Amino acid sequence: MPFTQDAELELSFDAKLIPATLNERLAQHNLHIRPLASSDYHRGHIHVLASLTSVQDPGEDRWKERFNELAQSTTSASKYFVVVIVSKHSDKLVATGTVFLEPKFLRNLASAAHIEDIAVDHTMQGKGLGKVLIQALTTLSEAQGAYKTLLDCNDDNVPFYNKCGYETKGVYMAKYK
C-alpha cells in the first residue's frame, strides 16, 4: 500500500505537537511518526498493540467510536494523545504509545501526565523506535504543561526506560478485579 501523507488523514491532534526532528531521524529508515489517524484501524493498530498484551479486535465501528472520544478529548482538561510510527514502505503501523493529561487541583491547578500502552511490533524492536516514542510523548506532555510524567512497567523494561531518562520512584501498586 502506498504511504499516506498526514495531509490526507483525519489526525487525532495537531501533528505539529510532535517534534519535527524525530521525523527527520526516522526518515532515513523509511518510517514516520504522527498522531493516530481515524483510518489506522486498517493500518494494524490493534495488531501492534498485541506486542504489549493480549488484545481483542473490537471491530472497526467500536474502534472508530473510541478514536472519536480520544480525538475530542484534546480540547478538554483531561487530554489523550496517541502517537504512532508508520512504515512508509507498507503504510502499516509498527509502533504506538499514549500519553494522557490528568488535571489536578494542586500546584495551582497543574496537570500530571501518564504514559501508557507503549508497543513496538516485535519485528521492529531494538531499532530505537521505543526511545523515539517516549521522546515524542514526553515532549508532548511537557509542552502541555505537565509538571511530571509518570509510567509503570515490569522489571524487565526498567533499563529501557532508564535509557529514555526515566528513573524509579516510589512503589507502584495495583488491584485487578
* Contact yes or no for 83/38 (Cβ under 8 A): no
Site for ligand COA in 115-134 (CB under 6 A): 118-120, 125-131
Residue 22 as a binder of ligand COA (CB under 6 A): the answer is no
Q: For cell 501508557, name the residue.
A: 116
- Nearer Cβ to ligand COA, position 38 or 90? 90
* Contact yes or no for 26/85 (Cβ under 8 A): yes
- Nearer Cβ to ligand COA, position 77 or 158? 158
Site for ligand COA in 133-152 (CB under 6 A): none
Stretch that binds ligand COA, among 7-15, 22-30, 86-94, 157-165 (CB under 6 A): 157-165
Cα separation of the two ends of the chain: 42
* Contact yes or no for 81/73 (Cβ under 8 A): no
Helix (H, G, I), strand (E, B) or coil at 124: helix
Rounded to whole angstroms, the Cα distance separating 98 from 90 reads: 23
Helix (H, G, I), strand (E, B) or coil at 119: strand
Stretch that binds ligand COA, among 4-12, 84-92, 154-162, 167-175 (CB under 6 A): 154-162
Shortest separation between residue 22's beta carbon and ligand COA, angstroms? 12
Residue 160 as a binder of ligand COA (CB under 6 A): the answer is yes
User: Footprint of ligand COA on this chain (CB under 6 A)?
Assistant: 51-52, 118-120, 125-131, 153, 156-157, 159-160, 163
